[in-house]
């Protein structure tokens, strides 16, 4: 089976070598957890391997994506200048490679135009984010997700599609995507010891005996995303709340047994 490297060596190992060619993988998580950075690694590796790369950005401008990648040691801009990478900007740009509305059909048309421009061969498509295309009509999530998957299955794309979680409610806008996705990589965050920590977990990858653990990750200037190791829960994080829970349960049992 042909697998595409994610651009992060350790993540590839966790995936038996990478993402199976032709898959659509959903990348979910709260803001600032590393979704776009993973997309940038996937795009950069595509360029390095001679794949055609199309990156659709809805929440940041094309320039913002290219700048962040550069600060993390990935010269995706070079790929754009060489005509091997196309970044479709759905936020700011008004040039040939922009989208003026977040309409799934316009997205499909633009991506197909880009693929024709890049030519034949193995291709990577990144849609960051896909959920943006139905933010104002969440009931359409599943229908649009099916549509996107079906249309692109005819083209030689391996797809990363991000979706976001509403911070306040932990509600996912990405339900539609997760149901049709061949794989799900979920990012999480927490504050431990007064510091923001980020985690990654492969929740689903068809045809793959993938790693099942949650891993802590770091974003390193000049290098990008690195996977530190399986998340460890210290006694402070884990044992104390558990003890408290047991005490509460015990107290409840006692009070209930006292009820005549
Ligand atoms: N050059 C950098 N050096 C260190 N950390 C960075 C750098 N660029 C971005 N980050 C970290 O990555 C976060 C953004 O990650 P990103 O993948 O864009 O998030 P999202 O999940 O919202 O797409 C920033 O909030 C910051 O913590
Ligand atoms: Mg992002």
Domain containing 68 — which CATH number? 3.40.50.300
Stronger pLDDT, 236 or 165, i.e. the higher one? 165
In a domain, 247, yes or no: no
| In-domain check, residue 244 | no
Residue 243 has pLDDT above 90, yes or no: no
Q: Is residue 241 part of a domain?
A: no
Which two three-digit tokens encode residue 214?
A: 């949650």
Q: Which is nearest to 109 in space by CA: 122, 123, 121, 98?
A: 98
The better pLDDT of the pair 117, 170 is held by 117
Specify the residue for token string 């539609």: 176
Does a structural domain hold residue 74?
yes
Answer whether residue 234 shows pLDDT above 70: no
What pLDDT score was predicted for residue 168? 46
With a 6 Å cutoff on the Cβ, whether 72 touches ligand 1 is yes
Looking at the CA of residue 33, tell me the nearest atom of ligand 1.
21
Which of 7, 37, 59 most suits a substitution to test ligand 1, by most atoms within 8 Å of the C-beta? Answer: 37
Structural domain contains residue 254 = no
Above 50 in pLDDT, residue 29?
A: yes
CB distance 73 to ligand 1 below 6 Å = no
Q: Atom of ligand 1 at shortest distance to CA of 40? A: 17
Total of domains in the chain:
1
Lowest mean pLDDT among 168-177, 194-203, 247-256: 168-177
Whether residue 167 is predicted with pLDDT greater than 60 in this model: the reply is no
* The residue to which tokens 């249309």 are assigned: 151
Given a cut of 80, whether residue 188 has pLDDT beyond it is: yes
Q: If pLDDT is split at 50, 70 and 90, which confidence band does 212 have?
A: very high
Residue 18's SS3 state is coil
Residue 255: inside a domain: no
Print the domain residue range for 154.
3-232
64 lines ligand 1 (CB under 6 A): no
- The pLDDT of residue 170: 47
Asked whether residue 56 is domain-assigned, the answer is yes
Three-state secondary structure call for residue 36: helix
Mean pLDDT of the chain: 90
Domain-embedded: residue 250: no
The whole-angstrom separation of Cα 251 and Cα 90 is 56
In a 3-state reduction of DSSP, which class is residue 254?
Answer: helix
Complete DSSP assignment for 84-139: SEEEEESSS--STTB-SS--HHHHHHHHHHHHHHH-SS-EEEEEETSGGGGTT-GG
Amino acid 240: pLDDT: 54
Residues 60-84: pLDDT tens digits? Answer: 999 999 999 999 999 999 999 999 9
Q: Read off the pLDDT band of 192 (50, 70, 90).
A: confident
- Average pLDDT of the segment spanning 7-30: 97
Locate the ligand 1 atom nearest the alpha carbon of residue 38 and give its number: 17
Q: Which residue has the CA at smallest separation from atom 14 of ligand 1?
A: 32
Q: Is the dihedral of CA 222, 199, 50, 53 positive or negative?
A: negative
Ligand 1 pocket check: which of 219, 222, 225 to mutate, most ligand atoms within 8 Å of Cβ? 219
pLDDT at 241: 61
């Amino acid at each position: 089976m042909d697998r595409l490297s994610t651009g992060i060596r350790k993540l590839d190992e966790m995936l038996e070598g990478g993402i199976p060619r032709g898959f659509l993988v959903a990348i979910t998580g709260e803001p600032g957890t590393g979704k776009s950075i993973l997309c940038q690694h996937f795009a950069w590796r595509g360029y390095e391997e001679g794949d055609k790369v199309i990156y659709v950005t809805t929440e940041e401008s094309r320039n913002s994506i290219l700048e962040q990648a550069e600060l993390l040691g990935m010269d995706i801009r070079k790929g754009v200048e060489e005509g091997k990478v196309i970044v479709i900007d759905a936020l700011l740009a008004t040039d040939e490679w922009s989208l003026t509305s977040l309409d799934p059909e316009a997205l499909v048309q633009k991506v197909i135009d880009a693929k024709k421009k890049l030519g034949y061969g193995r291709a990577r498509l990144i849609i960051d984010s896909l959920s943006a295309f139905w933010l104002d009509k969440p009931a359409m999530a599943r229908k649009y997700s099916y549509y996107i998957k079906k249309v692109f299955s005819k083209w030689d794309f391996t797809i990363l599609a991000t979706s976001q979680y509403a911070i306040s409610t932990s509600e996912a806008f990405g339900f539609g995507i997760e149901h049709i996705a061949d794989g799900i990589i979920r990012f999480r965050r927490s504050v431990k010891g007064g510091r923001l920590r980020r985690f990654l977990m492969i929740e689903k990858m068809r045809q793959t005996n993938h790693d099942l653990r949650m891993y802590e990750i770091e974003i390193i200037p000049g290098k990008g995303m690195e996977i530190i190791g399986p998340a460890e829960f210290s006694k402070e994080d884990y044992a104390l709340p558990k003890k408290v829970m047991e005490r509460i349960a015990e107290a409840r049992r006692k009070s209930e047994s006292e009820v005549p």
